[in-house]
């Protein structure tokens, strides 16, 4: 019989096809994958809240931090940080409900995803990326200029060219409402100095930009414009035990931060994906980062590592410039986009 193989004892087995059919080829396993920086824009749309889609999304150029050391990929032996040549951030405006890290799928949606082969392949690539990350890579990268990823830009990025700071989701220090909340409503309509860190070392680096001891001129400027400017702190801690210890000592945090800033301190545990970190330049979890965000949640300036004198003065000038822009800007009419 043609196309079959006849075995002794009367067994007839089909001949194995030499070429996979189109369906099998689409399910064939492949070890190739794209770099996280190339996937940032494609993944951004997946993090949107249900029923929404990117509004005024921008096409972003290749990452200005292509040669910066990362916690994954090939180890960088020699690196010198340079000023940011162009804006960093997400290609679409943030909205409350994005990047929460919560699974809001229905039982039917979970069942559909479970039997979806493409979903399994995507999850396989995510796990492969996680397993490839060297555990101590972020620590060893601190040997290169104490982990400084980039130098702040010499001047603010233009508003029409700037990209957006993402929405994050975490608990605050408020006693009246201990439920997790979004960062976007806090950042909207105000000029914000946003400190992002994880751990004591990174927190000290962020303080070198915006603390009263390191930059009293900035603190005084923020205090004189409390209705238009603010300092927001975001502590990212994915480890459950460390997050529990932080919550255990929140009383001390409340004293150090001050009651007026309890709602501006966020402890974020979930939703900070590698693609999101890549987009905003958060390339080392042991390093502190500071972003200057305008009232439309656009990143107009950014710094990393320990601040230099010109970076501290540049941050003050940047806040002053944004406050002047807010005074001369026309009132914005908010529009909501429905799916």
Map residue 69 onto helix, strand or coil. coil
- pLDDT for 49 equals 46
At 320, phi and psi to the nearest 5? -60, -40
Q: What residues does 195 pair with on adjacent strands?
A: 233, 290
- pLDDT for 24 equals 45
Summarised one tens digit per residue, pLDDT across range 275-294 is 899 999 998 888 999 999 99
Contacts of 273 (CB under 8 A, 6+ apart): 43, 47, 99
pTM of this structure? 0.76
Strands 181-182 vs 229-236: parallel, antiparallel or unpaired: unpaired
- pLDDT for 331 equals 63
The whole-angstrom separation of Cα 281 and Cα 89 is: 8
Write b or e for each residue in 174-209: b if 16 or more Cβ atoms lie within 10 A of its Cβ, otherwise e.
Answer: eeeeeebbbbbebbbebbbbbbbbbbeebeebbbbb
The whole-angstrom separation of Cα 99 and Cα 108 is: 22
The whole-angstrom separation of Cα 60 and Cα 53 is: 17
- pLDDT for 89 equals 93
Summarised one tens digit per residue, pLDDT across range 108-123 is 888 888 888 888 788 7
Place of tokens 């080392």: 284
Is residue 231 within 8 Å of 222, Cβ to Cβ?
yes
Q: Could you say which residues of the chain have pLDDT below 70?
A: 1-63, 73, 129-135, 330-339
- pLDDT for 17 equals 46
**CA neighbor of 202 nearest in space, from 123, 300, 304, 299:** 304
- pLDDT for 144 equals 81
E strand or H helix that includes residue 6: strand 4-6
Is residue 181 within 8 Å of 267, Cβ to Cβ?
no
Distance set, CA 43 to CA 40, 143, 292 (Å)? 5, 31, 24
Map residue 210 onto helix, strand or coil. helix
- pLDDT for 332 equals 62
Is residue 249 within 8 Å of 14, Cβ to Cβ?
no
- pLDDT for 166 equals 95
């Amino acid at each position: 019989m043609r196309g079959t193989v006849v075995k002794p004892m009367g067994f007839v087995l089909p001949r194995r096809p030499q070429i996979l059919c189109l369906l099998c080829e689409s399910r064939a396993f492949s070890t190739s994958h794209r770099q996280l920086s190339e996937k940032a824009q494609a993944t951004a749309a997946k993090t949107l809240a249900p029923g929404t889609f990117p509004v005024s999304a921008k096409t972003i150029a290749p990452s200005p931090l292509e040669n910066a050391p990362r916690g994954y990929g090939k180890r960088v032996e020699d690196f010198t940080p340079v000023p940011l040549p162009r804006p960093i951030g997400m290609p679409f405006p943030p909205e409350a409900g994005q990047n929460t890290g919560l699974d809001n799928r229905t039982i039917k949606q979970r069942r559909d995803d479970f039997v979806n082969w493409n979903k399994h392949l995507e999850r396989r690539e995510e796990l492969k990326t996680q397993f490839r990350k060297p555990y101590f890579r972020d620590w060893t990268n601190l040997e290169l200029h104490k982990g400084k990823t980039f130098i702040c830009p010499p001047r603010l990025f233009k508003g029409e060219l700037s990209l957006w700071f993402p929405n994050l989701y975490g608990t605050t220090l408020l006693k009246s409402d201990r439920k997790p909340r979004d960062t976007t409503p806090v950042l909207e309509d105000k000029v914000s100095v946003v400190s992002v860190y994880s751990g004591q070392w990174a927190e000290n680096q962020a303080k070198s930009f915006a603390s009263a001891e390191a930059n009293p001129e900035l603190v005084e400027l923020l205090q004189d414009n409390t209705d238009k400017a603010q300092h927001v702190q975001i502590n990212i801690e994915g480890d459950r035990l460390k997050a529990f210890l932080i919550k255990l000592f929140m009383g001390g945090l409340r004293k150090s931060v001050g009651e007026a800033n309890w709602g501006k301190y966020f402890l974020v545990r979930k939703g900070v994906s590698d693609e999101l970190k890549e987009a905003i330049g958060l390339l080392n979890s042991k390093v502190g980062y500071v972003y200057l965000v305008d009232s439309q949640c656009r990143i107009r300036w950014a710094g990393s590592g320990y601040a230099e004198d010109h970076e501290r003065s540049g941050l003050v000038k940047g806040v002053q410039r944004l406050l002047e822009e807010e005074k001369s800007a026309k009132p914005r009419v908010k529009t909501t986009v429905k799916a």
